[in-house]
Amino acid sequence: MQDYQAILEEIHESLRKFENTGEVASYIPELADIPKDKFGIHLQLITGENYSVGDAAEKFSIQSISKVLSLAKAFQLVGNDLLERVDVEPSGNPFNHLSLLELENGIPRNPLINSGAIVVADVLLSHLKNPKEDFLNFVRELAHDKTISYNAKIAESERITGFNNYAAANLLKAYGNLHNKVEDVLDFYFHQCSIMMDCRQLTNAFFVFANKGKCLKNIQHLTSSQVKRINAIMLTCGFYDEAGEFAFEVGLPGKSGVGGGIVALLPHCFTIATWAPALNPKGNSYLGMQALEQFTTKTKLSIF
């Protein structure tokens, strides 16, 4: 077996010395003050071994990474009916882009851009009895961790400055692709994005996508067909207009968030999460992208 701990330490050490030209997301004011030099990596093998380096045990706001978890819950609840309201094509556009939504009559390109995730949030609102509580419980169950919670301050901070998401939700409503009230759907969406997790908790929660739908405790949450589809969507749409670059350099399904987190996985082999809050111009973690590129290059482990 490869010396994974040594590989993570080598990557961490080499990138620490790198001049980090990224910027911490400031359009959500509550995220603007997170120190730029935080940097953690956690790797979990499907066989149960765990390896950690740096700030891997510090919680951060998972932001768009939550879109994969809400998609999983929506698939669980409504199956392929979801695809009538959201497409599965890469957008080649930034995560908050609106013009395609209008051109394509209110059907978002995919569930991982903001408009798509807002439709998914609407589906959860229609099908869950206590949407925020039930969704949080789902994430806790996947990760086997009751300490995972929303961050009300971050959710409120995003609500106050969330003009773009209000525009997306209003457009969706105008096209008849939002069944609940704009304010209620966005309240749910801002909360899901505010969930706080550390790198290890992310590798726990995403284990289900590396293990044919079974979580860490071997409970079947998703069918293998649903897992195949969710992984395909992560690979093609998980990094917005940098999805091609991530597939090219890293070669794994994954998802980023503007909190600086990235989670990626190799089916039947491992899940890995990185956190480094400074983002590149496309809104993906500057160091995280490079760390994962180094990891799959050094270990020769990728889907290709």
141 labeled binding residue: no
Query: What is the spatial distance between Cα 171 and Cα 100, in angstroms, rounded to a whole number?
Result: 11
Of 55, 44, 57, 46, give the one whose Cα is nearest residue 5. Answer: 44
61 labeled binding residue: no
Of 62, 85, 33, give the one whose Cα is nearest residue 206. Answer: 62
Minimum Å distance from CB 221 to ligand DON? 23
Dump strand ranges (E) for the chain. 23-24, 40-45, 50-54, 60-61, 196-197, 254-256, 261-266, 270-275, 278-279
175 labeled binding residue: no
CB closer to ligand DON out of 63 and 271: 63
Return the DSSP state at 274. Answer: E
24 labeled binding residue: no
88 labeled binding residue: no
CB closer to ligand DON out of 71 and 215: 71
114 labeled binding residue: yes
Minimum Å distance from CB 169 to ligand DON? 11
CB closer to ligand DON out of 101 and 215: 101
Task: Using CB under 6 A, list all residues that contact ligand DON.
Answer: 63-64, 95-96, 114, 158, 165, 193, 256-258, 283
CB closer to ligand DON out of 164 and 299: 164
Query: What is the spatial distance between Cα 232 and Cα 252, in angstroms, rounded to a whole number?
Result: 10
Minimum Å distance from CB 120 to ligand DON? 13
Minimum Å distance from CB 165 to ligand DON? 5
Minimum Å distance from CB 99 to ligand DON? 17
Supply 279's token pair: 């983002």
284 labeled binding residue: no
70-99 burial, b for 16+ CB within 10 Å, e for fewer? bbbbbbeebeeebeebbbbebbeebbbbbe
Length of the chain: 304
Supply 52's token pair: 């950690």
Query: What is the spatial distance between Cα 88 and Cα 219, in angstroms, rounded to a whole number?
Result: 27
CB closer to ligand DON out of 63 and 110: 63
- What contacts 174, CB < 8 A, 6 or more positions away? 106
**Which residue number has the CB closest to ligand DON?**
64
CB closer to ligand DON out of 215 and 276: 276
Minimum Å distance from CB 34 to ligand DON? 13
User: Residues forming the annotated binding site for substrate?
Assistant: 64, 114, 158, 165, 189, 240, 258
